Amino acid sequence: MDDFNPQQDTLLDSALNELPMAPLPSGFTTQVMAAIQAEAANPTARTARQTQPYPTIRFRLQPLDVALALFWSLVLIVIWLTTLWWAGALTIDWLPPVQANFSLVEKLSFANPGLLLAGVILVILELSVLGLVGFSLLGERPTVG
């Protein structure tokens, strides 16, 4: 397999035992003690160098996140449907004007395309903000160690 005989094998062991040790960086003990004192003063604060090895806070969508999102979506749909039902069931003064302007978007498209475009952009922006807020609330679950 190789050219090593038992004697050379012994030499290998001997050489392994004699591998040189690197000297301790200067001021190491002082740094350690300073880090300990800093840690004692502020247990949650860690030095930049200590936190550096764990840079990745990974987003992990879990079943609970999906369940919560579905639950709140359902709640919103139920509220919306209930409102529509109530609005239809009750006679409210302001209802006829609202119903008359229900197709406001369609009317705007003929009357002023610029307004419609602005409306669409506004909706997209609003959805983006909602998405970002949702992501920040659901995301960023730090993985420890």
Partner 1 sequence: MEQDEQTLIINAQAGDTNAFAALVTMHGTLVYNLALRTLGDPQEAEDVAQETFVRAWQALPGFRAQSLLSTWLYRITTNLCYNRLPHMKSELAALDPDTEIELVDERQTVENALVSSELVEMLHTAVNQLPESYRLLITLRHMQGLSYAAIAGVTQMPLGSVKTGIFRARQQLRQMLTQEMRSENG
23 binds partner 1 (CB under 8 A): yes
Residue 44 binds to partner 1 (criterion: CB under 8 A):
no
Instruction: Give the range of 1-9, 55-63, 89-97, 117-125 binding partner 1 by CB under 8 A.
Output: 1-9
Spatial CA neighbour of 142 closest among 59, 48, 21: 59
42 binds partner 1 (CB under 8 A): no
Identity of the amino acid at 84: L
On the CB side of 62, CA atoms within 13 Å amount to: 8
Binding of residue 17 to partner 1 (CB under 8 A): yes
In the complex, minimum distance from the CB of residue 36 to partner 1, in angstroms, rounded to a whole number? 5
2 lies in the binding site for partner 1 (CB under 8 A): yes
Interatomic CA distance for residues 49 and 55, integer angstroms: 11
* Using rule CB under 8 A, residue 28 touches partner 1: yes
Burial readout 10-36 (b: 16 or more C-beta within 10 A, e: otherwise): eeeeeeeeeeeeeeeeeeeeeeeeeee
CA angle 84, 85, 87 (to 5 degrees): 65
In the complex with partner 1, which residue's Cβ is closer, 30 or 136? 30
Binding site for partner 1 (CB under 8 A): 2-4, 9-25, 28-29, 31-33, 35-37, 39, 49-50, 52-54, 145
